[in-house]
Amino acid sequence: MPSSETHHAIEAVWRIESARLIAGLTRIVRDVGRAEELAQDALVAALERWPKSGVPENPGAWLMATGKHRAIDHFRRNALIGRKHEELGRDLSERESIVPDLAATIDENIGDDLLRLVFIACHPLLPTESQVALTLRLLGGLTTAEIARAYLASEPTIAQRIVRAKRTLSEARVPFEVPREKEFTARLSSVLQVIYLIFNEGYSATAGEDWIRPALCEEALRLGRILAELVPEEPEVHGLVGLMEIQASRAKARVGRSGEPILLLDQNRMLWDRLLIARGLASLERVAQLRGMKGIYAIQAAIAACHARAATAGETDWTRIAALYADLAEVSPSPVIELNRAVAVGMASGPTAGLMLVDALSEEPALQGYHLLHSVRGDLLKKLGRLTEARMEFETAASITRNTRERDLLLERARSCASEF
């Protein structure tokens, strides 16, 4: 295999295997930062050897074996660690020498290891932005440069977040374990939030030139699917996966030929991915079987399902959607949820009813500077024929958003109000 093809193969293997590799090595060395360094060492070894010897039949097993040997070398070199690590090194050597099927040994605890790594990356000791960066680095296999590009941040900024996160976890001696009982539920909520934050940044980019960033959506979906396999009895995990599957199904319809945004009611539903919708609905059915339909992600998935089941925008069951948003507001009170409910009420009961709800939210501190408040109000005012007010709302929304594509769309909507005079 030519060197360039080998390097592409190594990149693909790293994306697939890096999380498993780091998880397995973290179990051995009990330090996620050190584990990542050992995994990187194994990657360097692959880059040096595979172009000459070819990609091995089981590249994941090769990387893990190399990483383990690097761990043994590290233990033996570190005189401060003492006899305990020497014994661990001998134990690892003996295990590898007496177990002929190395791949089976690697897979023995990999599910648990991955789950532990998920909970470490999303540990509450870390600020949210660090949880996101570390999750993408450890579980997504993304480079610092790729994460920086995705979030329109500088590489040094992302690098600092990752370094500080690993240092924080190391200094706190965070155990490499899955939390139990009540702590598990609290930490799982944090994990799901991080995955959904990654998805949302891909689905509706907060800033920059692109309306969507498909790679982030795909990464979040991959992480969600892995988590659903690791904790199959947790309904909210399936709720989140179902929500992301259905929302991701609209990707091709959400952007025009020039990259311009296309709003939900204007989308060509023939472009929606029916396989993703089917998978999302199946996940929602799994939630129902687990009796978890009152979860925040399950309710949002049910809302997305209402759109997915409507063959045309006009067939959308807005009354059902408004009721689901009311349920969501009870479970997770939020001005943003109330704003979304106002949109649904406006569609189900008319723009006057929707505008009354939006106006009641106008003084909410959490919505000050939130461009969608003005965008929603502008849309309702336009439907009521109050075009001057609508134009002003769209212009205000355009001045607030940091996404170039969205700004252009809002300014176009403002101009459409002026042209109707």
Looking at the DSSP assignment, which residues form a beta bridge with residue 255? Answer: 261
Give the distance from CA 171 to its chain's centroid.
27
**Inter-helix orientation angle 296-309/274-289, to 10°:** 140
Among 354, 247, 254, smallest CA distance to 307 is for: 247
CA neighbor of 403 nearest in space, from 168, 200, 267, 233: 200
Return all residues near 354 (Cβ < 8 A) that are at least 6 apart: 342, 343, 345, 346, 347, 376, 380
- What whole-number distance in Å separates Cα of residue 9 and Cα of residue 305? 38
Residue 381: per-residue pLDDT: 97
Per-domain residue ranges of the chain: 3-108, 111-200+211-231, 232-254+267-316, 369-421
CA–CA distance, 245 with 310 (Å, rounded to integer): 16
Question: DSSP letter at 420?
Answer: T
pLDDT for the residue numbered 202 = 87
pLDDT of residue 139: 86
Nearest to 239 by CA among 254, 224, 261: 224
User: And the tokens for 29?
Assistant: 């060395």
Structure-derived torsion over alpha carbons of residues 137, 34, 130, 186, reported in degrees to the nearest 10? 100
The sign of the torsion formed by the CA atoms of 279, 284, 285, 289 equals positive
> Alpha carbon 370 to chain centroid distance?
22
**Residue 53 Rama label (left phi>0; alpha psi -120 to 50; beta):** alpha
pLDDT of residue 183: 83
pLDDT of 232-265, one tens digit each? 999 999 999 999 999 999 999 999 988 889 999 9
Predicted TM-score (pTM) of the model is 0.82
Closest CA to 117 of 67, 164, 174: 174
Q: Please, what is the Cα angle at 287 between 283 and 288, to 5 degrees?
A: 120
By CB atoms closer than 10 A (0-12, 13-18, 19+), residue 200 is middle
What pLDDT shows up at residue 324?
Answer: 98
Q: pLDDT 10s per residue in the chain (421 long)?
A: 456 677 778 888 888 888 889 998 998 888 899 999 999 999 888 888 888 888 888 888 899 989 988 888 777 766 444 555 555 555 555 444 433 343 343 344 446 788 889 899 999 899 999 999 999 899 888 888 888 877 778 999 999 999 999 999 999 998 888 888 778 888 899 899 999 989 998 898 777 777 788 888 998 999 999 999 989 999 999 999 999 999 999 999 999 988 889 999 999 999 999 999 999 999 999 999 999 999 999 999 999 999 999 999 999 999 999 999 999 999 999 999 999 999 999 999 999 999 999 999 998 998 999 999 999 999 999 999 999 999 999 999 999 998 999 999 999 999 999 876 5
Q: Which two tokens stand for residue 362?
A: 């106008």
